[in-house]
Structure 1
Amino acid sequence: MDDALKTFFSEARELLAEMETALLTAEESGGAAADVNAIFRAAHTIKGSAGLFGLDALVRFTHALESVLDDVRAGTLPLAGPLLPLLLRCCDHLASGIDTIEAGSEPDAGHLEEERALLVRLGDFGAAGAAEAAAAVQPRTETRPGEGQWHLSLRFGPDVLRNGMDPLSFIRYLSTLGRVERIVTLPDAVPTLEGLDAEACCLGFEIALVTAADRATIESVFEFVIDDCELRVVPPESRIAEYVDLIHALPEGPERIGEILVRCGSVTERELEEALGRQRQADPAPRLGAILAEQAQLAPEVVEAALEKQRQTREHRSQDAATIRVDASRLDRLITLVGELVIAAAGAQQAGRRVRDLELQAAHATLAELVQEVRDGALNLRMVRIGATFSRYKRVVHDVARELGKDIELRISGEDAELDKTVVEKLGDPLMHLVRNAIDHGIDSPEQRQARGKPARGVVALNAFHDSGSIVIEVSDDGGGLDRERILKKARERGLVAPDHTPSEHEIDQLIFEPGFSTAEQVTNLSGRGVGMDVVKQNIAALRGSVELRTRPGLGTTVTVRLPLTLAIINGFQVAVGGSMFVVPMEMVDECVAYSCADGHDYTDLRGRVLPLLRLREQFRLGGQPPARQNIVVVQAAGARCGLVVDALHGESQTVIKPLSRMFQRIRGISGSSLLGSGDVALILDVPALLAQAGPGSHSTLERRAVTA
């Protein structure tokens, strides 16, 4: 059951995300048939799968939702006005319900009240059965004095139907004695279709009954069928040992019954675990050793039916694609092992060179190629499209724009760009801040836009593309741009800028990344506390990335985030300065040239073009004298070029990225470290930071200084 439910929860969330996206798209398209059909299919699939697992609350709610969507699909109900926000709220409620069920807890009163209110509103749109469903939504009733929860295990004999008895009538009669809190139907004894007898009863029931009646009264309910059934009754406040005896006596597997008792609420998992612990001490080979150590499994044909149902209803997905779900922790473990394999292979290769055995070196070369293929394959397993992350912000733009009284369109491009799932997971919050800032601070009001000759509808754009081994994400808006005078005034008030200092436009723009800085006049749900852009910069820096900002007064602002594609393994180019080893990301290396100029200039002539130089010995204050003949590694990033002056070139290698400790995380120009095959540590250069060290923009101060010279 646990594995099957995990699949249901995961796929239900995917369906809800698709449903939300289709609802937002339908709003823009005016309720296109394809979008409406996608919304209906998602709700219908969730309803069917929830019914398969006996999740009656989800079935009840999605049935009412499906009735409204059926009318929309038939064209009798327009997808406009208050209906669209209601459907989005229903999506949120379903997601909350799924979280509650997965956590194994009961819905609280607030959740039930919201469900009742949503069902009433769905009923206003003509949802069939919505009123009855709303009436059925009741908070869990507390046990009254004198009542107790009895547990009944009931197995009807195969001939009970032939003898003229209706098993369900006896169960219904139980409700006259009290309240049937939960009931679990067991189809374990149902044979295959070939051996099925339509007149035979093969069902069993586990029932939790809250009543003040005694045992004799409860057993009297089954008086007329007592010879055709097996009835076991466990009274309230029974010892756990009685439930263990019950599990021994029932025909189903112990792990199946243990899980059912927990579902019925008759015992808790902790109680059963304690009982099993005691039994393991008394009996080294207990029959019940796996009741809770192993979660109960559905019959294989039932699980397959559930998965087949999901596959068939996803009509928009490729039928040829074969996928398998893998726990993320397993992928992380695989990447870690591949990294260790890369380091071990490099060490073996160096050992082969030392002994000067050509055959051994050839074998190591073959091994290195295979390791690289394994590395690339493992990294590709963790590469995901950024489009799924971008799509989440459609709802954010929709809701926040309505709250602010703005009309805003979200435009997405580059959603096929891929990057490491670890980067994607940590990118969500920074992007959320940027999108909300663009909506709140960037896009001006409809009145201001019309006064400036702009369309009343503002645009927030998300774009992603690959560049030099990095992924670049742009968040832009066509609003009024940054008000630099206002920013400078606030900065002077807070003491961030001296009264006699006149900062450049770039320096003023960078002030919005200061902790606690805000130009908002009042605190709202969206802004005013100065928490946001500084957090964005910190989070991006923690991912070895950078943030740049460009603004044009009256035209809009663009925030550019540059991140590495992966945080695990890269192709690197090893260089040496004195006794120190450095790694340059291979994607940023253009070429290498010999360098013998000793005039001390910080530039050189490279085929008729001025190339600014950055000497790593001076940059990192390394001791020793440079050799007479040095080398230049020409690197480029974000449109800027520079030459790194080094002592020696050691060639290309696979580089396993190791994070720096907190002590070294703020060193500019260094993004990480790597362990070499020799056991030495090499520092990974942060090329964009080195290029931008002396000034803003894509052309560093180094280049401007070189051109001037």
Structure 2
Amino acid sequence: MDELTSVFVTESREQLAAMEEALLQLETSPGDADLINTVFRPAHTIKGGAGVIECNFIVSFTHVVENALDKLRNGEISVSSDLVAVLLGCGDHIGNLLSVLEAGAPEPDADLKAEGDSLLSRLQRDWLDEPAKSGAGAEDSRPPVIKVDQVHASGGGEVETDSWHISLRFGQNVLRNGMDPLSFLRYLATLGQIVNIETLPDAMPDAEQMDPESCYLGFEIKFKSDVDKAAIEGVFDFVRDECSLHILPPHSKLTDYVTLLQALPENIMRLGEILVKIGALTPSELDEGLQAQQSSLASDGEADTLSPPPPHLGEILVEQRVVQPELVEAAVIKQKQVSDKKAAEARLIRIQADKLDRLIDLVGELVIAGASANLLASRSGQGELTEATSLLSRLVEQIRDSALQLRMVQIGETFNRFQRVVRDVSKELGKEIELAISGADTELDKSVVEKIGDPLMHLVRNAMDHGIEPGEVRAANGKNPRGRLELNAYHDSGSIVIEVADDGGGLNREKILKKAVDKGLVQAGQYLSDQEIANLIFEPGFSTADQVSNLSGRGVGMDVVKRNIQSLRGRVEVSSVEGQGTRFAIRLPLTLAIIDGFLVGAGPAAYVVPLDMVVECLELQAHAAGTGDRNYLNLRGEVLPFIRLRDLFEIPGEPPKRENVVVIKCAGQKAGIVVDTLLGEFQTVIKPLGNLFKHLRGIGGSTILGSGDVALILDVQALVKYSAQHEEQETGYALPLRAGT
């Protein structure tokens, strides 16, 4: 796939996402003209881009969709739930066509083409009047070509012509960026008829100075079509930053043509001759316009230089009482918003994900090399060398933070995808469900975002199917018949928390416990806390559904959710109030690459604790080292359970006389980790453990120290949970280091 096609596919998928979001909003706000335009623009842009790369099967399909959206924009048809459903399906189909293009196939297969024909047939039957076709050979979808009338001058300085005039100058880098100028002209011809075209080579240098990869061409085009200016501009959307484009509509003033002559780089008289040659102007019209311009310039030269500038168009319209001042002010504000948005987009640059990953890997190696240099400098005892490596460490830390920030993305894009899921699933279930999103601007690592989509999908669909009751049941229980599903994200203690909550019936503890007994997961009569009962839903094959549906009930999903989240060094918790709803909280690390760590030692081994989870460090007093068979200490009136790394990992040898406690906090819970030595802060490059160690609990990964030794990264979430449970167990209870034990 060439670079131009790759850019088209990427940008088209972004356009489809914007189109889908606007369609979902349009269903609840059918009279919003801005939303209708937001839906129309992506289809128009995708069609234009497909024409540029000569992908006819996308052009022909999107042309019919664009016709329907144009009728919607003009008020000829109205927004309805059925229309939104079909347009959403059309968006999905365009996405599938993009996949066909991406795979290099010449056209969609029979099944995909039949799907497109079905969508277009429904558009034709219910909302359009002209025939609708799809596929590469659908020539009937092109706009009709109109014959050219004779151009003649009218009075009052106006050129009476029903042809457009287009002045086009391509930038020198167009070819380098993978774009073919002729493809834009070929696509322009599909929207109407190019009556005359003049190629301008004026910018071409001498042969010895010419760069074969540069484009030096310009074009003056007389174009006949019944499309609007936006459609003509849309042809050049993918090259707007690499060209100069001027478009004059039919019946433009002579002064508009004169202004165009002044704006273009070529000699004014040569351009005038070209306009006459291609039939845009007659010789008398050109002379009249130039004489009028000279008269205007002469009168301006005689005017006082201190005189005020001519009024803006808005001021003239207000003075003539054509529009109200408020409308002009609103238009100015809108123009500024569009201008600011374009300026912001111009500051963005696309980078391939693998290049960014390579940069993060190199930064990780730089961190390790920096740690090694620091260690050698401290051992050397040379003050100047130590100072230099200290400065180097600060710079490496800044580089690390900046590099990681490049991979941070907002979770809102992931959340917004569920707008469509909630709409479709709620209609399938016959339930009214609204989706509320908060914390969409919360940022986390791109690699985490990519892997969290599937677990969230399981939770959302499960909440809609099992959690939220049918409308009649909710009404009978005094609840709003319309259910509510919430997606929320926020930062907490160096982690990101993602919540999926519903206001449904909650978990039925008796039903869960009975099912667990039937499956042999617990013994009959065994006491379990509410939290332990709720956690049973994450057991493999566990389901309380009375019947299997298309969405759930097969006993798969929740265990997969837990396993996938654990693979991201995260955990999922569930809380529920029967009759009021259920809330799932997923806690994940912000990044999977590099963190600030706190290095500790136990015996000959070194361990790393994530620094943002360390509250404080203190010396373990002998009298607080454990009471009877319990391990806890009094931390300023607060009971703090603790665990010893020596006991946890069965490290041989006697502990030192002076031990230290690292107080950690996660999800509002505190615990202590007893270690032999405190070694200080350490930039930690996270290295994943191999498959042989993937079942270990209490270990989140490994890292390489400056000395070349390997240190294990502690899983603080698991240790906090274990310390709380261990306090309730008898002496000698071992940490379940293997899954399923």
- Fold agreement, TM-score > 0.5: yes
1:51 is displaced (CA, Å) by: 1.5
Residues 103 and 306 of structure 1: CA distance in aligned 2, closer, same or farther (over 3 Å): farther
SS at match of 2:549: coil
Q: Where do residues 567-606 of structure 1 align in structure 2 (5 Å cutoff)?
A: 567-598=592-623, 600-601=625-626, 602-606=631-635
SS at match of 1:107: coil
1:335 and 2:336 equivalent?
Answer: no
Structure 1 residue ranges without an equivalent (≥5): 139-184, 191-195, 203-252, 255-300
SS at match of 2:679: strand
- Per the alignment, residue 80 of structure 1 pairs with 80
1:598 is displaced (CA, Å) by: 4.6
Residues 591 and 599 of structure 1: CA distance in aligned 2, closer, same or farther (over 3 Å): closer
- Per the alignment, residue 420 of structure 2 pairs with 395
SS at match of 2:506: coil
1:309 is displaced (CA, Å) by: 11
- Per the alignment, residue 687 of structure 2 pairs with 658
- Per the alignment, residue 626 of structure 1 pairs with 655
1:113 and 2:128 equivalent?
Answer: no
Residues 303 and 33 of structure 1: CA distance in aligned 2, closer, same or farther (over 3 Å): closer
1:200 is displaced (CA, Å) by: 7.7
1:26 is displaced (CA, Å) by: 1.4
1:694 is displaced (CA, Å) by: 5.0
Structure 2 residue ranges without an equivalent (≥5): 140-179, 186-193, 201-211, 214-235, 246-334, 732-741
Deviations 1:317-341 (A, max 9, x none): 4523411111111111111111111
Alignment equivalent of 2:709, drawn from 676, 680, 703 = 680
1:367 and 2:392 equivalent?
Answer: yes
- Per the alignment, residue 46 of structure 1 pairs with 46
1:27 and 2:30 equivalent?
Answer: no
SS at match of 1:692: helix
Distance 1:457 1:614 in 2: 48
Deviations 1:532-555 (A, max 9, x none): 000000000000000100011000
Distance 1:22 1:351 in 2: 59
What is the one-letter code of the residue matched to 2:54?
G
SS at match of 1:526: coil
Distance 1:302 1:318 in 2: 13
C-alpha contact (below 8 Å) 2:607/2:714 kept by paired residues: yes
What is the one-letter code of the residue matched to 2:360?
I
Residues 63 and 704 of structure 1: CA distance in aligned 2, closer, same or farther (over 3 Å): farther
1:637 is displaced (CA, Å) by: 0.9
Residues 94 and 673 of structure 1: CA distance in aligned 2, closer, same or farther (over 3 Å): same
What is the one-letter code of the residue matched to 2:27?
E
Residues 690 and 23 of structure 1: CA distance in aligned 2, closer, same or farther (over 3 Å): same
- Per the alignment, residue 494 of structure 1 pairs with 519
C-alpha contact (below 8 Å) 2:53/2:183 kept by paired residues: no
- Per the alignment, residue 566 of structure 2 pairs with 541
Distance 1:571 1:579 in 2: 22
C-alpha contact (below 8 Å) 2:687/2:702 kept by paired residues: yes
1:701 is displaced (CA, Å) by: 4.7
What is the one-letter code of the residue matched to 2:672?
G
Q: Where do residues 85-96 of structure 1 align in structure 2 (5 Å cutoff)?
A: 85-96=85-96
C-alpha contact (below 8 Å) 1:612/1:702 kept by paired residues: no
C-alpha contact (below 8 Å) 1:512/1:518 kept by paired residues: yes
1:659 is displaced (CA, Å) by: 0.6
Q: Give the alignment's Cα RMSD to 1 decimal.
A: 3.0
Q: Where do residues 156-305 of structure 1 align in structure 2 (5 Å cutoff)?
A: 187=182, 198=196, 304-305=239-240
1:474 and 2:499 equivalent?
Answer: yes
1:94 is displaced (CA, Å) by: 0.6
Q: Where do residues 493-532 of structure 1 align in structure 2 (5 Å cutoff)?
A: 493-532=518-557
SS at match of 2:672: strand
Q: Name the % identity.
A: 51
Normalising by structure 2, we get a TM-score of: 0.70
C-alpha contact (below 8 Å) 1:462/1:476 kept by paired residues: yes
Residues 132 and 10 of structure 1: CA distance in aligned 2, closer, same or farther (over 3 Å): closer
Deviates more, 1:28-37 or 1:675-684: 28-37
- Per the alignment, residue 320 of structure 1 pairs with 344
1:305 is displaced (CA, Å) by: 3.9
1:42 is displaced (CA, Å) by: 1.3
Distance 1:302 1:449 in 2: 50
SS at match of 1:115: helix
The size of the alignment, in residue pairs, is: 554
- Per the alignment, residue 132 of structure 2 pairs with 131
Distance 1:647 1:43 in 2: 65
Deviations 1:575-617 (A, max 9, x none): 1111111111011111112223255322223334333222222
Residues 667 and 309 of structure 1: CA distance in aligned 2, closer, same or farther (over 3 Å): farther
1:381 and 2:382 equivalent?
Answer: no
Residues 334 and 703 of structure 1: CA distance in aligned 2, closer, same or farther (over 3 Å): farther
- Per the alignment, residue 16 of structure 2 pairs with 16
Distance 2:55 2:373 in 1: 57
Distance 1:378 1:497 in 2: 49
C-alpha contact (below 8 Å) 1:120/1:134 kept by paired residues: no
Residues 370 and 80 of structure 1: CA distance in aligned 2, closer, same or farther (over 3 Å): same
Residues 579 and 100 of structure 1: CA distance in aligned 2, closer, same or farther (over 3 Å): same
Residues 32 and 362 of structure 1: CA distance in aligned 2, closer, same or farther (over 3 Å): same
Residues 617 and 471 of structure 1: CA distance in aligned 2, closer, same or farther (over 3 Å): same
Residues 89 and 361 of structure 1: CA distance in aligned 2, closer, same or farther (over 3 Å): same
Residues 72 and 663 of structure 1: CA distance in aligned 2, closer, same or farther (over 3 Å): same
1:702 is displaced (CA, Å) by: 6.8
